[in-house]
A = this chain, B = another copy of it.
Amino acid sequence: MLKLYGSSLSGNCLKTKWVAERLGIPFEWIETDVFSGETRTPEFLALNPAGQVPVAVLADGRVLAQSNAIMLHLAEGSPLIPTDVYERAKMFEWLFWEQYSHEPAIAVRIARRFYLKQREEELDPTLLTRGHAALLRMESQLAQSSYLVVNALTLADIALVAYTRVASRGGFDLSPYPSVRRWISRVEADLTLESVASG
């Protein structure tokens, strides 16, 4: 059976769990604490030399890392990946943009502010401006379409909802982004996730 090593506090890890659940793929979840060094043990580094979660151990024992690569592998041939060539390319555009321009601002600010309890004055001020630029980019797309790529749920939505739905924990006020807020509720309903209380 598929094994997913991940932290329930990490949006990157939850993405892979949500895809497996959505597609009815049986899996074992192995809770891995990133803050206590569990991803730096020799055993874990033998699994993933990059020392990051999530890690998937496939049914045949082979190992795969990187949240978006794991999602793509699990979802191959499913409706979560568009069959249209251009729509699939746009999905990839959002997936790479998420890891480069969204996660390093929003997820990092959530981790430092909410989990590591850093004070506002300790935080790199560019995290806030970069995070809001990312949210504005999403708002501009979601004012035109109900999902990021055309009008159906794809891996792009699952990847981006992971940290956007808890952005308030990073001190990001979502009230200027009404289309993003409606899209969060839509994707949460699709994935049967309970809405996250703000703060």
What residues of chain A have their CB less than 8 Å away from a CB belonging to chain B? 49-50, 58, 62, 64-70, 72-73, 76, 85-86, 89-90, 92-93, 95-97, 99-101, 103-104, 137, 140
Q: A76-B85, A85-B73, A86-B62 are in contact. Are A137 and B93 (CB under 8 A)?
A: no
Identical copies in the complex: 2
Interface centre among A67, A86, A137 (most CB of B within 10 A): A86
Which residues in B have their C-beta under 8 angstroms from that of A65? 93, 97
Q: A49-B137, A49-B140 are in contact. Are A92 and B69 (CB under 8 A)?
A: yes
Which residues in B have their C-beta under 8 angstroms from that of A99? 96, 99-100
Given contacts A66-B96, A96-B96, A100-B103, 4 further A-B contacts (CB under 8 A): A62-B86, A64-B86, A64-B90, A104-B104
Closest to A76 in B: B85
Closest to A52 in B: B101
Which residues in B have their C-beta under 8 angstroms from that of A69? 89-90, 92-93, 95-96
**Which of B50, B90, B137, B140 meets A97, CB within 8 Å?**
B50
Docked CA distance A104–B96 (Å): 13
Q: How far is the CB of A66 from chain B (nearest CB, A)?
A: 4
Q: How far is the CB of A117 from chain B (nearest CB, A)?
A: 21
